[in-house]
Amino acid sequence: MIERLKRYAVAGWYKPSQVQDVRVPAGGRWILLLLSLLLAAGAVVQQWREHQRLQRGQLIYQQGWPGANLAGDDSSLPELATRCVNCHDAGSSAQSAFAPALNAAALRQLHPRRGGPPSRYDESSLCKLLREGVDPAWVQIPRAMPRYNVSDEDCAALWRYLVSR
């Protein structure tokens, strides 16, 4: 390692006199290696979790919400009935007229909704809407949009997926 640092010093990265100052004590290189591995593993786990979250959000949006039930009820709804695309699929003009498109532009941009002042969604306001039917400007949305019992994890997953679109 010292040899390598000396080569860097020759290349102008360090002054040769500094090389002695950064000498790694015996066994220290293993600690450094371990720390690097831990950092790399942490980054991989973080990426994997994010990927899982996106996949979960996509599943909820396109194929339905496994085990979902209406707010205040304990009966599970079939996944087919809870697909967001049933109403929010902007690919079909008839369906898009039934319910608004759900994507990053529609959710994150500041604009007036349902006659309220300009507002934008974030993760917590999306969760509030899903659970209580209240939008970010505190306007009640039509009851044609069901209210669901939804966990924080599922809500976060759906938000991540929607703003990735």
3-state secondary structure of 137: coil
Q: Which of residues 84-103 bind another protein (CB under 8 A)?
A: 86-87, 94-95, 97-99
Query: Residue written as tokens 């993760």?
Result: 123
In the list 34, 43, 73, 152, the residue contacting another protein (rule: CB under 8 A) is 73
Decide: 68 and 82 in contact? Cβ < 8 Å: yes
- 132 touches another protein (CB under 8 A): no
Closest approach, Cβ 31 to another protein, in A, equals: 57
Residues facing 140 on adjacent strands: 134
Structure-derived torsion over alpha carbons of residues 103, 104, 105, 111, reported in degrees to the nearest 10: 100
DSSP 99: S
Closest approach, Cβ 36 to another protein, in A, equals: 51
Closest approach, Cβ 61 to another protein, in A, equals: 15
| Contact set with another protein (CB under 8 A) | 70-75, 77-78, 80-82, 86-87, 94-95, 97-99, 143-144, 146-147
